[in-house]
Amino acid sequence: MDFFKDVTDIRDIVASDIKIPEEILDQMPIMAGRGWWTYALRQKGVNVIATDDFSWMNRSWIDTLTEVEEVDAIEAVERYGKEVDVVTMGWPYMDDTAYPVIKRLHEVNPNALVVYIGERGGCTADDNFHEHFEIMFNDPKFNKVTTRYQSWEHIHDYILLGRYSE
């Protein structure tokens, strides 16, 4: 079974009886929101440490689908960055948070990969982030995921694999 070939979004993960292979990497969603992605991964037995500072809209929602720790994104990277292989970042604000997060992650764990979901210049993250986020276009497994990613209507969002670069 090829995880990246057969599992492409949250619905696939939750609805399917696909087994996550043991070699799948430990993940840390930061700015995890209500934890949809976290929930789906945990359903399949992936090791996930999820964090969010719960600042969204002054937290108009009061519950999460699964455990999401209340921690600022930078602090989360400093606390857990060494323990994880992949940090996922879905729809970060277009403020100055996403850039220092990947920079700090690189300092604490240079091998960590980043999965970024959002626009490439637009309504998510800022210019500094996009200038220093080196997209890895050549991962064949991940590229299969990207072909099946469904964008939000009228939004030019992507799912991208990459890492910090100077």
> In whole angstroms, what is the distance from residue 64 CA to residue 68 CA?
7
Residue 93 or 158: the one with the smaller Cβ distance to ligand SAM is 93
Residue 157 touching ligand SAM (CB under 6 A): no
Looking only at residues 32 through 51 of this chain, which bind ligand SAM when binding is defined by CB under 6 A? 32-33
Burial of residue 7 (CB within 10 Å: 0-12, 13-18, 19+) is buried
Q: What residue is closest to ligand SAM based on CB?
A: 33
* Positive/negative CA dihedral, 108, 161, 156, 36: negative
Whole-number Å distance between alpha carbons of 69 and 31: 10
**CA 161 – CA 27 distance, rounded (Å):** 13
Shortest CB 32 distance to ligand SAM, Å: 6
Q: Provide, rounded to whole angstroms, the least separation between the CB of residue 1 and ligand SAM.
A: 26
Q: Which of residues 47-106 bind ligand SAM (CB under 6 A)?
A: 52-56, 72-73, 90-91, 93, 97
Q: Which residues bind ligand SAM (CB under 6 A)?
A: 31-33, 52-56, 72-73, 90-91, 93, 97
